[in-house]
Amino acid sequence: LICYGFSRNVPVYETAVEGAKEGFQVAVRLIPFLVMILVAIGMFRASGAFEILAMLVSPVTDFLRVPTEVLPVALLRPLSGSGAFGLVSEITANDPNGFAAFLAGTLQGSTETTFYVLAVYFGAVGIHRIRYAVTAALLADFAGLLAAVALCHWLYSA
């Protein structure tokens, strides 16, 4: 890229500095959204609502044969990628070759940090009505969950 820019007589360094300035301004605009998402996740977990939600969806997870220790990963992944990764790391450390670790790792790769993505990217461009995007994204996460469970049961048993 640098050679191409020089060959086109583009002031490469100055252009890179301008891009960095724009990137910094975008980062500054995103900080409030990131802080709010992290505070909301912390409040959700500290309030005990996370455990209540896990109990409410346990009939579905029992039907799908999802191990109990993987349920928090499935519930936290749409909210926080790093939080879900921490849970996956803990599950993997306890039993690296177990089905729960296999499924948790697959879930980490087949679902998205939906609310983080919506808050950050939609907030960055000023979109406030995200109802349909939330529905579509959560349905995609649920499809990823179902696919991960089905494939992991199929491949782990094989």
User: What confidence tens digit (pLDDT) does each residue in 65-116 have?
Assistant: 998 889 888 888 888 787 788 889 889 999 999 999 999 999 999 999 898 8
- The DSSP code sequence of 44-91 is HHHTTHHHHHHHHTHHHHHHHT--GGGHHHHHHTTT-HHHHHHHHHHH
pLDDT tens digits, one per residue of 29-51? 777 877 777 787 778 778 988 78
Q: Is the pTM of this model over 0.75?
A: no
Query: In this predicted structure, what is the pLDDT of residue 74?
Result: 87
Answer yes or no: are the C-beta atoms of 123 and 134 closer than 8 Å: no
Query: Bigger pLDDT: 151 or 90?
Result: 151
Answer yes or no: are the C-beta atoms of 152 and 102 closer than 8 Å: yes
Cα–Cα dist 121/109, whole Å: 20
Q: What percent of the chain has pLDDT over 70?
A: 97
Q: Is residue 138 predicted with pLDDT exceeding 90?
A: yes
Work out whether the CA dihedral 70, 152, 81, 140 comes out positive or negative: negative
